[in-house]
């Protein structure tokens, strides 16, 4: 079946603007994760959903970032009042049920804030 998909693949925005990044997990996967990868670094955890609820949002850097998963499938990461420091690749992953299950990643959205 299809893997994790993310849209858009690239996003260029201006400082102060609002952006939405979308993740479509593997069908049937209940767990969904967002990570952020800055240049030259490994991915850093942002938030984890189990079903519709955010089980762990400890990685969100501040209140400009929030994410939703209203129907337990597609998730949207929303960034308000973007800053240049938000420029990074935003990766989404899903796993069958969380826990020890392997996380499978999408291709990422490359965000550039000018």
Please give the residue ranges that form the binding site for another protein (CB under 8 A): 31, 33, 35, 40-45, 48, 55-56, 58-59, 89, 91, 93, 95, 98-100, 102-108, 110
In the complex, the smallest distance separating the C-beta of residue 34 from another protein, rounded to whole angstroms, is: 10
The residue among 14 and 39 lying less far from another protein, judged by its C-beta, is 39
Kindly report the number of other CB atoms within 10 A of residue 57's CB atom. Answer: 15
In the complex, the smallest distance separating the C-beta of residue 67 from another protein, rounded to whole angstroms, is: 14
In the complex, the smallest distance separating the C-beta of residue 78 from another protein, rounded to whole angstroms, is: 20
The residue among 66 and 104 lying less far from another protein, judged by its C-beta, is 104
| Spatial contact of 85 and 68, defined as CB atoms under 8 Å apart | no
**What number of CA atoms fall less than 13 Å from residue 26's CA on the CB side?**
18
The string of DSSP letters for 66-111 reads EEE-TTSS-EEEEESS--GGG-EEEEEEEESSSTTSPPEE---EEE
The residue among 14 and 102 lying less far from another protein, judged by its C-beta, is 102
């Amino acid at each position: 079946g299809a893997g994790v998909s993310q849209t858009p693949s690239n996003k260029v925005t201006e400082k102060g603007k609002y952006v939405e990044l979308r993740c479509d997990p593997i069908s049937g996967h209940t767990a969904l994760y967002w990570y952020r990868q800055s240049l030259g670094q490994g991915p850093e955890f942002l938030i984890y959903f189990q079903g519709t609820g955010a089980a762990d949002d400890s990685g969100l850097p501040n209140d400009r970032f929030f994410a939703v998963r209203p129907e337990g499938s597609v998730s949207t990461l929303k960034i308000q009042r973007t800053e240049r420091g938000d420029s990074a690749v935003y990766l989404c992953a899903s796993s069958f049920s969380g826990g020890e299950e392997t996380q499978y990643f999408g291709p990422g959205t490359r965000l550039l804030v000018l």
